[in-house]
Amino acid sequence: MNAEAIVQKISSDIKDKIQEVSLAAPLRINVKVDREKLLAVLQYLKEQFGFTHLATISGVDLGESFEVIYHLASHLATVNVRILTPRSAPTIPSTVSIIPGAILYERELQDMFGLVVQNIPNPRPLLLADDWPAGEYPLRKDWHFNRPAEKIPGGK
């Protein structure tokens, strides 16, 4: 089954669950879904085509909202499933029940973008330091690094 056939099948099978599906480049399929229907779409892709390997989850700060892209890869093609979540209430569902290997990527999203992953089995910080101030999310576009003034021990 090639990428065009997958696009055809997705658009005929789960038309009511997705917003749009397109072939962005050879072997790259873009699927846009509502965040409420994400789990159903991932389940469908897993059962129908065997997309079990989640390469990573990318978060992008679009200003008003965050875009979260789930990159699923197999020998057939790569499917980028994207959802939007508003900045005022940045929640996304946890996909660990369908793809157990997603845990570290979801914890990374929580650390870096301040997204709230619902039903995540282990919500502890993964990457940020233990004394990192609460409410600061480094990969948001409005976050800037201010280097603290250097203090020389014993200096004046």
**Which residues of the chain form contacts with other proteins (CB under 8 A)?**
25, 27-28, 52-56, 58-61, 69, 71, 73-75, 78, 80, 99-105, 112, 125-129, 138-139, 145
94 vs 97: CA distance, rounded Å: 7
Q: How far is the CB of 107 from other proteins (least distance, A)?
A: 9
20 vs 140: CA distance, rounded Å: 27
- CA nearest to 116, candidates 138, 94, 139, 142: 94
- CA nearest to 82, candidates 128, 53, 41, 112: 41
Q: How far is the CB of 95 from other proteins (least distance, A)?
A: 11
How far is Cα of residue 39 from the mean position of the Cα atoms in its chain? 12
14 vs 42: CA distance, rounded Å: 11
Q: Kindly tell me which of 10 and 102 has the beta carbon lying closer to other proteins.
A: 102
Q: Kindly tell me which of 106 and 154 has the beta carbon lying closer to other proteins.
A: 106
Q: Kindly tell me which of 1 and 36 has the beta carbon lying closer to other proteins.
A: 1
**What's the DSSP call for residue 22?**
E
